[in-house]
Amino acid sequence: MSLGVWCMIQLDIPIGKIAKKLSKVSDELILYGKAGDKLYLFAIDPSQTMLVQIDAGIAMDEDFMAGIPVKELGETNKGVRYVMDYDQGVWKISYETSTGTKVRKKINGLEPAISNIDVILNEDWSMMNGEAVVDYSSINQALSEIEEENIVLRFVTGKPGKMIISADGPGKEIEVETNINEVVKPFEVRVTRSTFENTIEILEPLTRGFRIGLSKNGILVIEPSVSKTFTRALVSPVVRT
């Protein structure tokens, strides 16, 4: 696919706030779209255990793919609406804050690091092996009780359902149980605490409620609970040794 040489994009999603949180785990945000389809934002962490895909809510007239430094974009987190102009490897970003201040910024782009975006988009990420609906505060409060990195997430069927997070530490075991909105299909997965927490934080500017489940390949899928957009995060499970 040929890369877009020039493109102007207007975004109403809080991309600056997303980028500020994303900067903890990734250096690059990729904007990707094909003619007649949606524009997506992609980011992946260096270990390639977490990938975030955000539906930008706009359609593309032509193919486009370009990267932008997450740290630089995160510094625009006070913006309300963004106009992003990409030309010959340079981003020109204009935004207005909630107080009416207008800002213009020029940033050098990056060569996109992800090469298989089409494969990711065409994969079936439906939650075939488990599905739960949970709010941000329940996840945040439960994780605050645990310091260990390797955790087990277990979801028990019900409406309300139960989310149980457990971990083993040096000389101790801990289990945190909380009621959540609903568990449609029970499941269990072992993940890295920091990766799971960072993923939730990155999506939080877009939603306070999540659908969480396992794909047919055992990947942890996290999506907004009420949105019909193609926004999701994918987290690889920790293999039990």
Domain residues of the chain, as ranges? 6-122, 131-235
Q: Look at residue 1 in the predicted model and tell me its pLDDT.
A: 37
Q: Does domain 6-122 have CATH number 3.10.150.10?
A: yes
Instruction: Give helix 193-203 / helix 136-143 axis angle, nearest 10°.
Output: 150
- Model confidence at 170, in pLDDT bands (50, 70, 90)? confident
Q: Among candidates 215, 37, 220, 228, which has minimal Cα distance to 126?
A: 215
Q: Looking at the domain 131-235, which fold is it?
A: DNA Polymerase III; Chain A, domain 2 (3.10.150)
Is the pLDDT assigned to residue 64 strictly greater than 90? yes
Task: Give pTM, 2 decimals.
Answer: 0.92
Q: Please state, rounded to an integer, the average pLDDT across all residues of the chain.
A: 93
pLDDT at 173 over 80: yes
Rounded to whole angstroms, the Cα distance separating 103 from 78 reads: 10
Q: What is the pLDDT of residue 98?
A: 87
Give mean pLDDT, residues 85-90.
Answer: 94
* Structural Rg of the chain based on CA atoms: 19
**Tokens 């072992």 map to which residue?**
190
Contact 74, 23 (CB under 8 A): yes
DSSP H or E stretch at residue 18: helix 15-22
Instruction: Look at residue 5 in the predicted model and tell me its pLDDT.
Output: 65
Percent of the chain with pLDDT over 70: 97
